[in-house]
Structure 1
């Protein structure tokens, strides 16, 4: 099994490479700058692994760089600008594809543009294999298997600590500032819409008795969940204070002066909570809960495992949501070894 990592010298990519190194998997590091690739390989203990250079605007070089690999992990953002080129090259190289993206616009473009090409090539494309979308998408499917008729799903995300976003995350926020300020897409009655008001503005989180203020936010699961769960409405929320911070992006010049990303100590002190509230047609709520630490480290584990499963076991060709490509409960159970806890409360009282 051979896995390629594109954008291999970036902050998130180096965590992906470290995870691959821990598992002793064969890796090809791919990126635009040979010296930065060399430094990244040395940093994570992969100095003896192959490195290939390919720019995002050179389709032939990208295809050649992915040639002979079983799957590609794309970590090169902002994905709204670069993701499509890497997806197309992976398909043409006959490689399965995953990425660490979280933006709705990139995801919807991948689904709308590449589904047919991937299916014809026998390639599986699974975007947004990250700490938020993948476990939330999976647990929504587990809930749907238990609840006969779901009218609406609201996902709520809260992150405490962690030392702040990486430079890559901040650049992506800057590139998609319009979606951050408007709240992005909401799924409603068979279509994705912009500009819809959130049905919920607060949530009572586990272990609390008072509601936490929330704001609509353009998260990836709004694009993925309706593809495998029969549901009328899906919206995504984050804690209102986080939404306000990210909705006022920093300038490109200021971002360039910041640290590459949070320190390991800061990441390990982070706590994240993802809540999936599914309301049935008769008004009852079933709550799914995912909790863990270290969003960037968890994303690395998830992306590597998703690529490994595609390379080892395959999946239906085409562009798929995580729950369409992987066994939901099995993948969630796998993550428990990495400190991710999940549960479902069928009798939740909102």
Structure 2
């Protein structure tokens, strides 16, 4: 029996830090949606605090497969904000596919992205789309690289460089970061994914002022998984750095952090995280500035070419809320026809996303080509 889709969008994990930001953004857009999570008390408190049209309140845990399928069966789109995704996300993907419901999430976990590609055929056959990493990480890098690579064929290398000043993170982001470093991490080299330990390689990008050139270290970014699925580059690398920290410092300490995440120290860190604040304050968020530098090397009409694009702004969590809400609205509409497990730039036209981010002061600009 076919279940009526009574919820255009359902936010799973709506009472968490990111979930609440997404809920406020959907409310600002006057989009009706449902909220879902484990605690009825917290859901009711969120409903009462929102200036939004809440069309449903669903008590469900990610460990209840039958209940998840029921909620997904009533939803056109489920936005999953429950992490760490390696531990808690796969069952939600399965429930969405079985419930004939589009799925999107805010994951930043590389191995989860790689794992969920296995559901591509099932999602296609189920007539739904599964879109991972529709957030600051890694939608901006994925879409920016797709834009930067236009007109380049063949593509030898794509590099995505993150430069950050201020790194205030939520409890959920900290937990996910530990899970990232506890597992195998990858780069895309000569057309295949290969295991690479973070922090072993340095890369420099000529960021414009106020950052200037920044040297970072290789990082298990999601673009390493997403970009090869829609842009035919032989090599994809991601680097993380900060203007005030030398690349060599990153390189020295990254392997230590990697080893600590795989030791018992991680359990102590998790307990410390759980006692900390839920996430950054609005003032802290606004002070977190970033530039994302994208390098594309290859050929254009038989001539060697190097292209560089920079995405610049602040408030990664505010950006995540806007990107996620935009994706949810698009996926819930009648003109969305994508199917399968898709990276952000394959699910949506990459050039459609800069406009919704413009009110936040996010800029996209090409540097001089060579």
The alpha carbon displacement at 1:208 in A equals 6.1
Counterpart of 2:347?
325
What secondary structure does 2:89 align onto? helix
Check whether the contact 1:130–1:303 (CA below 8 A) recurs between aligned residues: yes
What secondary structure does 1:277 align onto? strand
Note closer, same or farther for the CA distance 1:123–1:47 as it changes in structure 2 (3 Å cut).
closer
Residue of structure 1 aligned with 2:126, choices 121, 137, 154: 121
What secondary structure does 1:315 align onto? coil
Determine if the alignment matches structure 1 residue 304 to structure 2 residue 320: no
Counterpart of 1:230?
232
Residue of structure 1 aligned with 2:287, choices 269, 274, 285: 269
312-321 or 301-310, larger mean C-alpha shift: 312-321
Counterpart of 2:194?
193
The alpha carbon displacement at 1:132 in A equals 2.8
272-281 or 39-48, larger mean C-alpha shift: 39-48
What secondary structure does 2:22 align onto? helix
RMSD of aligned alpha carbons = 2.3
Counterpart of 1:279?
297
CA distance in 2, matches of 1:24, 1:242: 44
Q: Deviations over 1:98-132 (max 9, x none)?
A: 101011111111112x1011000110111000113
What secondary structure does 2:369 align onto? strand
Say how many residue pairs are matched: 343
| TM-score of the pair, normalised by structure 1 | 0.91
Check whether the contact 1:41–1:49 (CA below 8 A) recurs between aligned residues: no
Q: Deviations over 1:50-101 (max 9, x none)?
A: 2101111111101112232211110000011111111111111111111010
62-71 or 219-228, larger mean C-alpha shift: 62-71
The alpha carbon displacement at 1:42 in A equals 2.7
Check whether the contact 1:166–1:262 (CA below 8 A) recurs between aligned residues: yes
CA distance in 2, matches of 1:274, 1:132: 10
Q: Deviations over 1:182-224 (max 9, x none)?
A: 7x21011221111278664333322269642301111111111
Residue of structure 2 aligned with 1:137, choices 128, 136, 142: 142
CA distance in 1, matches of 2:193, 2:350: 24
| TM-score of the pair, normalised by structure 2 | 0.86
Unaligned runs of 5+ in 2: 1-6, 242-246
Note closer, same or farther for the CA distance 1:15–1:208 as it changes in structure 2 (3 Å cut).
closer
Counterpart of 2:172?
168
Note closer, same or farther for the CA distance 1:346–1:151 as it changes in structure 2 (3 Å cut).
farther
87-96 or 74-83, larger mean C-alpha shift: 87-96
Counterpart of 1:88?
94
Q: Deviations over 1:158-195 (max 9, x none)?
A: 12125x2101111112222235xx7x210112211112
CA distance in 2, matches of 1:256, 1:208: 35
Counterpart of 2:3?
none
Q: Deviations over 1:29-59 (max 9, x none)?
A: 1111211222222333348542101111111
Check whether the contact 1:38–1:47 (CA below 8 A) recurs between aligned residues: no
Counterpart of 1:67?
73
CA distance in 1, matches of 2:206, 2:367: 14
The alpha carbon displacement at 1:338 in A equals 2.8
Check whether the contact 1:205–1:212 (CA below 8 A) recurs between aligned residues: yes
The alpha carbon displacement at 1:314 in A equals 1.3
Check whether the contact 2:34–2:54 (CA below 8 A) recurs between aligned residues: no
What secondary structure does 2:30 align onto? coil
What secondary structure does 1:347 align onto? coil
